[in-house]
Amino acid sequence: MASLPPAARGALSVLAGAIIAIGLPPLGWWPLAFLGFPLFLMLLASGPRKGWRDGFGLGWAFGLGYFAVAFHWIGFAFLVQADTYLWMMPFMLGILAGGMAIYWGLAALLARRFGGNGLQLALTFSAVLAGAEWLRGHLLTGFPWAAPGLLVDGMGGVAQAAAVIGMTGLSLLVILWASLPLVFLQGGSRASRVAAAVILLSLPAVWIWGDARLRTARDDMVPGVAIRIVQPNLPQDETWREDNARQILDDLEQLSALPTAERPEGIGGISHVVWPESAVPFLIDESPVARAELAPLLGGRTVLLTGAVRLDRKGEGEDPDAHNSIIVFDGRAEPVARYDKWRLVPGGEFLPLAWLLEPLGFRKVVQTPGSFVPGPGPRTITLPGGLRAALTICYEAIFPQRLVDDAERPQVIVNVTNDGWFGRSTGPWQHLAQARLRTIEQGLPMIRAANTGISAVIDPYGRTLRMLPLMEKGVVDSPLPVALSPTPYGRWGDFWLVLLATAVLGCAYLAGKSTSRG
């Protein structure tokens, strides 16, 4: 491979990254990682060790191929109002994929400079790329979507390790396992091949442990709690039209009261109804008409949680601050609590570098009466009836860190979202898969309400108990699973990741010493 021209090496690196990304949900073809990572590492190992341009360039191309495929679904959002936004699609996707690929380029540069070959390179690369993924999830607001650890969605019991090492720890393990075939392809020493085989055996060991954890899983439900999730399946181009307000509210109310085989009495006996993100195109907390209609529906007993735009009014002549919120109504349709989204979507809810991009014609995709303002952060809200809930909106569920309030542990995570922007793409499936990882990490169940799907009730082991498919209108009725005791990841966060990465780098150092002696 060292004899290949630079363009061919770069193209193969792009291909290697794309191959891995194809294995992400919903396909679940995780074995493709065992092709993509060794291919890239063979290219990396064949270049000059001190050639930073070669190392960074190959890593950036590798990341570009991965993120271009993993993020392609974002392009669907620009088709909703194509006459306004379509021209922005190649720029935004290119900037996002290319920007995320910088992290992979830096990881490849470090691995090539210090990682040697064979086993040492596989060990070093897995640790430094996991570190780069941690940074990707934290710097510049963070965007940890499609971490390599998400491949475990198709790996059965392996996902249960998220309860200990979290998503980034899973990324480290997946990268390491998938990179080890390099040792055999390069014809390493017998000792390195034995060591690689032993490390590979940890994959079935973790899988078996995870399956055993699931077999002994608790199935207890919270007494007196019955959930109804409403999925209106409203096309995105109709969601924000004010002339649709009457029909949208009627549909939500009818679905909320719908008799089902499980609940022939309709909303009777339901303790909590959950509507999706930005469920109605008006300010529902400021609408006496809407609240007058909701009061008899809720019947003095049912709590409603709905996604909604909320305004903070200012002085006369000043634009209000808009919040993407969840508003809690009690059984009398009185707003009793609210949660304001604090992780806003770059390019969607706010425009980074607006001073530079707005004069060029760029706009944020979601238009509001004012600018979206972030809320104060995660907090536990005690709902009427005493249920403690961590409320989250949309892509806040992709972040492992600061998901819940550590000072007051909730009993459930509520996530409302609107993935209608992305149609039937892979985006909604990947979003759901990342939400499932959050439940395993925290040992908490999740109620997930999505406008066009995929709405679901997920238990604290990441198992989907009830689900309404993508692009289907209806409701999901379910009891609420009991939360587990705090998991190791829930207690200590990425502490265990640091220990794992340190151990892997220590093994890489020993592997390098062994090679130099040989």
Query: Which amino acid type is present at position 362?
Result: F
Among residues 133, 277, 349, 441, the one annotated as catalytic is: 277
Residue 138: CB atoms within 10 Å: 13
| 3-state SS assignment for residue 423 | coil
Main-chain phi, psi angles of 360, to 5 degrees: -90, 0
**Cβ–Cβ under 8 Å, residues 112 and 150:** no
DSSP 346: B
- Write down the H helix ranges in 259-379: 288-298, 354-357
Length of the chain (residues): 518
396 counts as catalytic: no
Q: For the packed helices 118-136 and 162-179, what is the interaxial angle rounded to 10 degrees?
A: 140
Helix H, strand E, coil C: the string for 250-278 is: HHHHHHHCCCCCCCCCCCCCCCEEECCCC
Q: What is the DSSP code string of 225-250?
A: EEEEEEE----HHHHT-GGGHHHHHH
507 counts as catalytic: no
334 counts as catalytic: no
Residue 146: CB atoms within 10 Å: 25
Q: For residue 82, how many C-alpha atoms fall within 13 Å in the half-sphere facing its CB?
A: 3
Query: Which amino acid type is present at position 17?
Result: G
Among residues 133, 349, 394, 507, the one annotated as catalytic is: 394
Strand partners, 393: 416
Residue 7 to residue 77: CA distance in whole angstroms: 32
As annotated, the active-site residues are 277, 341, 394
